[in-house]
Amino acid sequence: MSEGELIVVALGGNALLRRGEKGSFEEQYNNVRRTSRFLADLVEMGYKLVITHGNGPQIGATLLRHDAGKRMYDIPPFPMDVCGAETQGFIGYMIQQALRNELKRRGIDKYVITVVTRVIVDEDDPAFQNPSKPVGKFYTKEEMEELKRIHPEYVFKEDKARGGWRRVVPSPDPKIIAERHAIKTLVEAGFIVVASGGGGIPIVEVDGVEARGVEAVIDKDLAGERLAALLGASRFIILTDVDGAYLNYGKPNQKKIGRIKASELRKLYDEGHFPPGSMGPKVLAAIRFIEDGGKEAIIAELSQLKDAIEGRAGTHVVP
């Protein structure tokens, strides 16, 4: 490790919520406190750190709160891009507070700051014609039809495997992190930055001049890769609830991938070895980071972060 090396860490859902939890603030904050201990290890090792995170359950709950407010009290709901900004704010607050507290306990005088981050997408992205990203809770057919009466613009898809209907929204490919220069300036000034939460707030630029938010959700790992590449980070670390990427995951012949070249992983990805709803975006983000000039991308389990950065755990993707 070189002193002051910049790494971007993408936190998976288990950093905020664990299986079986309802999502109270206390549950989430306790999980973030645990996560902060692993992040503080990296700061103690001398790394410059940028943190990004998911917001799937949180934005789903926020949308439900807005919907309930409309039905019960006639409070106008906010659009999805604004709900994304809401979740960036409160998740960033939790990370700021918990990580700053952990650093102070270790005698490290570093400040953590959250940047409300917009991500530019292409308004002609095919994803806008094919909504596929599930958000919010599962509904019965009757509940879904009632919501469709209130919100005829909503699109729902049935999940026959788990039973029920879920709202789906477009998931366009991230192009540019709008606040990238501000984030880089803060990092160079010595701050730990939380940015591009939940994949960032999706915006399009009309005629290259006026930015406006769109009803969509960007994959947080693909947006994290864009952030890492645009900042010139040397490493991009994707933390999840499994200890790496596997071939034939969940089958008797499953095999963990340890160290692999991006070109070899690209071939496996193109052959369809990684499901689009789980490991697929993580693998694609790791491949893209190397193709964009990164030194190393790592997929690892949260509690193994220190071992992963030192090469003893996780899947390592290299040029």
Q: Same domain for 164 and 196?
A: no
Q: Are residues 161 and 272 in the same domain?
A: no
Is 43 in the same domain as 80? yes
Say yes or no: 99 and 40 in one domain. Answer: yes
CB atoms within 10 A of CB 137: 15
Q: Are residues 149 and 282 in the same domain?
A: no
Q: Is the pLDDT of residue 189 over 50?
A: yes
pLDDT at 300 (0 to 100): 98
Whether 310 and 161 map to the same domain: the answer is no
Q: For residue 1, name the pLDDT band (cuts at 50, 70, 90).
A: very low
Backbone angles phi, psi at 58, to 5 degrees: -70, -45
Q: Output the pTM of the full model.
A: 0.95
Give me the chain's average pLDDT, please: 95
Q: How far apart are CA 50 and CA 226, in angstroms?
A: 13
Residue 185 lies in a domain: yes
Say how many domains are in the chain.
2
Band (119; pLDDT cuts 50, 70, 90): very high
Could you tell me if residue 110 is inside a domain? yes
pLDDT at 253: 95
Active site residues: 13-14, 133, 220, 282
| Residue 16 pLDDT level (bands cut at 50, 70, 90) | very high
User: What is the tens place of the pLDDT at every residue in 268-309?
Assistant: 999 999 988 789 999 999 999 999 999 999 999 999 999 999
2: confidence class by pLDDT, cuts 50, 70, 90? low
State the amino acid at position 140 in one-letter form.
T
**Containing domain of residue 138, as a range?**
131-169
Q: How far is CA 207 from CA 117, 171, 210, 212, in A?
A: 21, 22, 7, 11
Give φ, ψ of 94 to 5 degrees: -65, -45
> Do 158 and 292 fall into the same domain?
no
Asked whether residue 133 carries a pLDDT value surpassing 70, the answer given is yes
In a domain, 1, yes or no: no
